[in-house]
Amino acid sequence: MLDPSDFINESIQEIKNIIGDKKAIIALSGGVDSSVASVLTSTAIGDNLIAVFVDHGLLREGESDYVNKTFNDRLNLRTINAEEEFLNRLDGVSDPEEKRKIIGELFIRVFERVAEEEGAEFLVQGTIAPDWIESDGQIKSHHNIALPHGLVLEIVEPIRELYKDEVRVIGSKMGLPDEMVNRQPYPGPGLAVRVVGILTPEKISICRKANAIVEEEVKKEGLDATLWQYFAVLTDTKVTGVKGDIRDFGYLVVLRMVESIDAMTANVPELPWSMVKTISQRITAEIPEVTHVSLSVSDKPPSTIEFA
């Protein structure tokens, strides 16, 4: 990569040349790639970039507030509350790939709606080098995307040549908080791929609460700096437990904490036992529907990082 300041200046100039005074939209996920692409583009074209943050009802605890707090005064941000639309369509669906497909389609539908309303002609994406090297290996090319209702947007990918560590350097240089640029990756379909089986408001809520406890304790331990991802999975297995003096029949939650460089492979490191026990105790104490917590010790391969 060029010197970070040169990269920023050259990218801003290039974005201005391509988009000029037209309008663009970007899907802001709250992850580091789309955040950095948003901030770079908005520095170039100001409020003509509309950053669209979709709350699909499958976000982590506090995520919508976090994204709004972080970006409200940096971006022309539109938060779209689409929880009902997503959860209605996902009702009764248990197959993970089916969930991903539905979520992908609904995302596109929401963006098309916003792009039409805003009169956008460009779609900015936070694509980074591993995304295209692994998939199509194509050298930079100008391309368009036709959305389902026929709207055609020209794609702009300002951080396409960068690797994750370089994206983080650019993000910091542009004033994004450390916590944001070092965030763990979070999958687009969110809790849909961390709740095994069909999604119900109750299961989503349990998974969200358990996940918040994992994140809190991992950060307390300072392991957020070294772990690649750390989260809770809600299985659809129910197991007998005993709470107080009463036998109970509740959910099994699995803790997944892995180290990785690029998510292609991952390994489960030795973890501080006191932290694992604290997480387990907190989850069963604070979430009445959970009777049992287990720790995943499987590397990738043969397992994947996500459960669904």
Which window, 128-136, 155-163, 207-215, 297-305, contacts ligand XMP (CB under 6 A)? 297-305
Site string for ligand XMP, 99-118 (x = CB under 6 A): -x------------------
CA 192 to chain centre: 12
Give strand ranges (E) for the chain: 24-27, 49-55, 76-81, 122-124, 144-146, 152-156, 229-243, 246-258, 290-295
Nearer to ligand XMP, 7 or 111 (CB): 111
Give dist(CA 226, CA 261) in Å, integer.
Answer: 10
Residues 6+ apart with CB under 8 A from 163: 128, 129, 130
CB 46 to ligand XMP: min, Å: 28
If you search the block for the tokens 């007998």, which residue do you land on?
Answer: 240
Residues 6+ apart with CB under 8 A from 276: 255, 295
Which window, 46-54, 59-67, 150-158, 183-191, contacts ligand XMP (CB under 6 A)? 183-191
Stated as kind and residue range, the H or E segment containing 36 is helix 32-45
The number of residues that bind ligand XMP (CB under 6 A) is 12
Q: Which of residues 219-248 bind ligand XMP (CB under 6 A)?
A: 229
Instruction: Rule CB under 6 A: say whether 185 interacts with ligand XMP.
Output: yes
Beta carbons within 10 angstroms of residue 37's beta carbon: 31
Residue 276 annotated in ligand binding: no
Residues 6+ apart with CB under 8 A from 11: 40, 44, 158, 159
Give dist(CA 36, CA 123) in Å, integer.
Answer: 15
Nearer to ligand XMP, 80 or 263 (CB): 263
CB 260 to ligand XMP: min, Å: 8
Give dist(CA 211, CA 219) in Å, integer.
Answer: 12
Instruction: Rule CB under 6 A: say whether 72 interacts with ligand XMP.
Output: no
Instruction: Rule CB under 6 A: say whether 189 interacts with ligand XMP.
Output: yes
Residue 137 annotated in ligand binding: no
Order of strands, edge to edge, in the sheet holding 290-295?
A: 229-243, 246-258, 290-295
Residue 141 annotated in ligand binding: no
- Looking at 4, 130, 188, 241, which residue binds ligand XMP (CB under 6 A)? 188
CB 243 to ligand XMP: min, Å: 32
- Looking at 58, 120, 193, 199, which residue binds ligand XMP (CB under 6 A)? 193
Residue 274 annotated in ligand binding: no
* Main-chain phi, psi angles of 177, to 5 degrees: -60, 150
Instruction: Rule CB under 6 A: say whether 263 interacts with ligand XMP.
Output: yes
Instruction: Rule CB under 6 A: say whether 93 interacts with ligand XMP.
Output: no
Nearer to ligand XMP, 2 or 133 (CB): 133
Q: Return residues touching ligand XMP (CB under 6 A).
A: 100, 185, 187-189, 193, 229, 263, 300, 304-306
Q: Which residues are annotated as a binding site for ATP?
A: 29-35
